[in-house]
Each structure stands twice: as C-alpha cells, then as structure tokens.
Amino acid sequence: MRRVMEDEFVLREKKILSLLDQELQEGEEMASTVRHIAERMLLGDKGYEPADIRKNVSFDVTLGPETVKSSVDFLVSVAGRAAMVIKCAAGSLSSRERHVVAAARVLGDLPVPVAVVMDPMSAVVLDATTGKSVGEGFAAIPTKRQLIAMLSGKESKPIASGTLEREKRVLLAFDVIRCCVPKGADGGVQLDDAGESCSKGSVPGQ
C-alpha cells in the first residue's frame, strides 16, 4: 500500500512538473512573438534605425558578494544616449511594470529614462525616474523623433547607492519569479562594466 501511494505521488509530481515546463515553454514562445512585433514596430512606424537598437541585452548585477545576469529585450539609444528599454511579456503587463523600471534603473551607470513593457496586444510606457505610467498602447511608444524631444534638456543623474541596491533586489526577485530570462539569441549582446556592448558570449570587461 505504501509503495502504491509513493508511486502515485511520483506520478503526480511528474505531471505537475510537465505542466510547469509546458507553461514556461508557451510563455517563452509568446514572449518571442512579442519581441518580433516590437522589433518590426521600432524599425517601421517608430522610425528607428537598426544601429539605434540592441536586442536581448544582458548585463551584470552585483549584489553583495554575488554577481548574476539580468537582461532587457531591447535597449534603444538616440543621440548617443541609452534612452529606452523594452521588456516583452507573455502575461499581465501591470505585474511587469515594476520589473522593467528596475531594469532601467540598474542597467547602466545612469538610469535609462524610458521603460516599456509590452505584450501582443498592448504596451505600457513608464518614466523610469518616477516609475509612473506616461502612456498605454502601442501608439504611446515614442517614435525616434518623440524620444529625442522627450530627452532634450533633461540630464540623467546617478541613483543613490541605497536606492540602487533596492532596485537590484527588486530586479532579481522578478527575474527569479519569471524563471526564463532571454538567452541572448537572435543577435543578443552583453554590456560590459562601462555600458559598452561586447559580443555575445564574451566576458564582461574584456
């Protein structure tokens, strides 16, 4: 009897793990679809050039003695300045807003001013400094000309060390929950300690 109960438990556990794997795979497939939508939109209606956009950008996050990787799906630069990050989601956008804001604040030496989270149907555009939404829907994602105008005369300031540590914790907590940080496919790049891009698979700072 005990052996039968153990076998049933193992079978249930395998089914649960199988369902979780399936959900993760479906979620990543949907996120991949969103990434393609975002790229076509940026290069089309939004007026960006390929040189303005870096895809699947991974970066180091150091918290205490540990250094781990995080990522954004797109990093958009204008006028020589990192200006907008985009994360593509398969689920609720509202649950991802804090995630993308933390990524925008942690990614470089200076916070990236505009943060966007999007799914196949809509998008939320946020001011990374305040964390507040400044627009919803694909139409709210700024064009290149609009983004340049938004940043004109605005100077980014480094985040206070205490606040930065908190943002790192928020970012990594969301990454753990998400369980599927992009692997750097489709032309992904990695940022070194100075915020410059280096080839996929290379070691930061080298």
- What pLDDT sits at residue 3? 58
CA triple 30-106-141, angle to 5 deg: 50
Report helix, strand or coil for 102: helix
Q: How far is 106 from 155, CA to CA, in rounded Å?
A: 17
How far is residue 120's CA from residue 53's CA, in Å, rounded to a whole number?
Answer: 20
Pair of tokens at residue 168:
């790192």
Cβ(30)–Cβ(36) below 8 Å: no
Q: In 10 A of CB 150, how many CB atoms? A: 17
- DSSP, collapsed to helix, strand or coil, labels residue 136 as strand
Strands 123-127 and 114-118: antiparallel
Contact 131, 98 (CB under 8 A): yes
CB-based contact 175:63 (threshold 8 Å): no
What residue has token string 């990454």? Answer: 175
CA distance 49 to 30: 25
For 53-105, the pLDDT digits (tens) are 999 999 999 988 888 899 999 999 998 899 999 999 876 778 789 999 999 99
Q: Check residue 154 and give its pLDDT.
A: 78
161/125 Cα distance (integer angstroms): 25
Identify whether the C-beta of residue 85 lies closer than 8 Å to the C-beta of residue 74.
Answer: yes
pTM (2 decimals)? Answer: 0.73
> What domains are there in the chain, each with its CATH number?
2-195 (3.90.1570.30)
Query: Which tens digits make up the pLDDT trace of 115-164?
Result: 999 988 899 999 999 999 999 999 999 999 999 999 887 777 888 888 89
